[in-house]
Amino acid sequence: MSIAVVNFSEKFSRIGELHAYKLVAQMNDYHFKLVRMKREFIWHSHPETDEVFMVIDGRMWIELRDGTLSLGTGEMVVIPRGVEHRPYCREECRILLIEPAGTLNTGNAGGDLTDTGLEWI
Amino acid sequence: MSIAVVNFSEKFSRIGELHAYKLVAQMNDYHFKLVRMKREFIWHSHPETDEVFMVIDGRMWIELRDGTLSLGTGEMVVIPRGVEHRPYCREECRILLIEPAGTLNTGNAGGDLTDTGLEWI
Judged by DSSP in three states, B90 sits in: coil
Asked whether the beta carbons of residue B76 and residue A8 sit closer than 8 angstroms, the reply is yes
Is A94 a residue whose pLDDT tops 70? Answer: yes
| pLDDT for the residue numbered B11 | 98
| pLDDT for the residue numbered A2 | 82
Is A1 a residue whose pLDDT tops 80? Answer: no
Question: In chain B, which residue's Cα lies nearest the Cα of A57?
Answer: B74
A8 close contact with B: CB closer than 8 A: yes
Percentage of chain A beyond pLDDT 90 is 93
Low-confidence ranges of chain B (pLDDT < 50): none
Percentage of chain A beyond pLDDT 70 is 99
- Using CA atoms, how far apart are residues B108 and A112, in angstroms rounded to an integer? 47
What is the rounded end-to-end Cα distance, in angstroms, of chain A? 18
To 5 degrees, how large is the angle CA A22–CA A27–CA A29?
85
Distances in Å between the Cα of B101 and the Cα atoms of A5, A52, A98 are 23, 16, 16
| pLDDT for the residue numbered A84 | 98
**Confidence class of residue A117 from pLDDT cuts 50, 70 and 90?**
confident
Q: What is the ipTM of this complex?
A: 0.96
Asked whether the beta carbons of residue B3 and residue A74 sit closer than 8 angstroms, the reply is no
| pLDDT for the residue numbered B15 | 97
| pLDDT for the residue numbered A44 | 96
Structural domains of chain A ordered from first start: 18-120 (2.60.120.10)
Q: Which of A30, A70, A76 sits opposite B6 (nearest CB)?
A: A76
Kindly tell me the sign of the dihedral angle through the C-alpha atoms of B3, B5, B8, B10: negative
The answer to whether A58 and A73 are in contact (CB under 8 A) is yes
| pLDDT for the residue numbered A109 | 93
Under 8 Å CB-to-CB from B41, ≥6 apart: which residues?
B86, B87, B88, B105, B113
Min mean pLDDT across A78-82, A102-106, B43-47 is at A102-106
Using alpha carbons, select from B52, B50, B53, B85 the residue that is nearest to residue B66. B85
Question: In chain B, which residue's Cα lies nearest the Cα of A28?
Answer: B50
Q: Span A58-63, mean pLDDT?
A: 98
